[in-house]
Amino acid sequence: MTRLAELRLYRIDMPLVRPFRTSFGTQDTRDVLLLQAITNDGISGWAECVAMEWPGYSYEYVDGAVDVLAEHLIPAAVADGTIDPHVVHRRMSRLMGHPMAKAALETAVLDAWLRTEQRSLADYLGAVRTEVDCGVSVGIPVDESIDSLLEEVSGYVDAGYRRIKLKIQPGWDVQAVRAVRETWPDIPLQTDANQAYTRDDGPVLAAMDPYDLLLVEQPLPEDDLLGHALLAQQISTPVCLDESIISVATADTAIAFKAASIINIKPGRVGGYLESREIHDLCLERGVPVWCGGMLETGVGRAANVALAALPGFTLPGDTSASSRYYAVDITPPFVLDDGRLRVPTGPGIGVEPVPAILDELTTWSAVIDVANP
Ligand code: NPQ
Ligand code: MG
Does the residue 214 lie in any domain?
yes
Atom of ligand 1 minimally distant from the CA of 319: 7
Cβ–ligand 1 distance for 135 under 6 Å, the answer: no
**Same domain, residue pair 273 and 324:** yes
Cβ–ligand 1 distance for 36 under 6 Å, the answer: no
Say how far apart CA 243 and CA 188 lie, in whole Å: 22
User: In the chain, how many H helices and how many E strands?
Assistant: 14, 13
Looking at all shown ligands, the one closest to residue 52's CA atom is: 1
Q: Does the structure show a pLDDT above 70 at 56?
A: yes
Strand segments, DSSP code E, in the chain are 4-22, 25-39, 44-49, 131-133, 135-138, 163-167, 189-192, 216-217, 239-241, 262-265, 290-292, 341-343, 363-370
Say how far apart CA 183 and CA 195 lie, in whole Å: 27
**Same domain, residue pair 156 and 248:** yes
pLDDT tens digits along 290-317: 999 999 999 999 999 999 999 999 999 9
Say how far apart CA 119 and CA 69 lie, in whole Å: 27
**Same domain, residue pair 179 and 301:** yes
Mean pLDDT calculated for residue range 56-72: 98
Cβ–ligand 1 distance for 164 under 6 Å, the answer: no
In this prediction, residue 373 has a pLDDT band, given cuts at 50, 70 and 90, of low
**Same domain, residue pair 176 and 278:** yes
pLDDT tens digits along 101-128: 999 999 999 999 999 999 999 999 999 9
* 102 given a catalytic annotation: no
User: Which domain CATH number covers 279?
Assistant: 3.20.20.120
**Same domain, residue pair 105 and 80:** yes
pLDDT tens digits along 250-286: 999 999 999 999 999 999 999 999 999 999 999 999 9
**Same domain, residue pair 203 and 289:** yes
* 167 given a catalytic annotation: yes
Q: Does this model's pTM top 0.85?
A: yes
Q: Does the structure show a pLDDT above 80 at 374?
A: no
Looking at all shown ligands, the one closest to residue 62's CA atom is: 1
Say how far apart CA 272 and CA 17 lie, in whole Å: 28
Instruction: Tell me the residue range of the domain where 71 lies.
Output: 4-118+356-370
Does the residue 327 lie in any domain?
yes
pLDDT tens digits along 322-359: 999 999 999 999 999 999 999 999 999 999 999 999 99
Does the residue 348 lie in any domain?
no
pLDDT at 168: 98
**Same domain, residue pair 138 and 263:** yes
Distance of CA 344 from the midpoint of ligand 1 (Å): 22
Atom of ligand 1 minimally distant from the CA of 27: 11
**Same domain, residue pair 46 and 71:** yes
Q: What's the structural domain count of the chain?
A: 2
Does the residue 309 lie in any domain?
yes
pLDDT tens digits along 164-182: 999 999 999 999 999 999 9
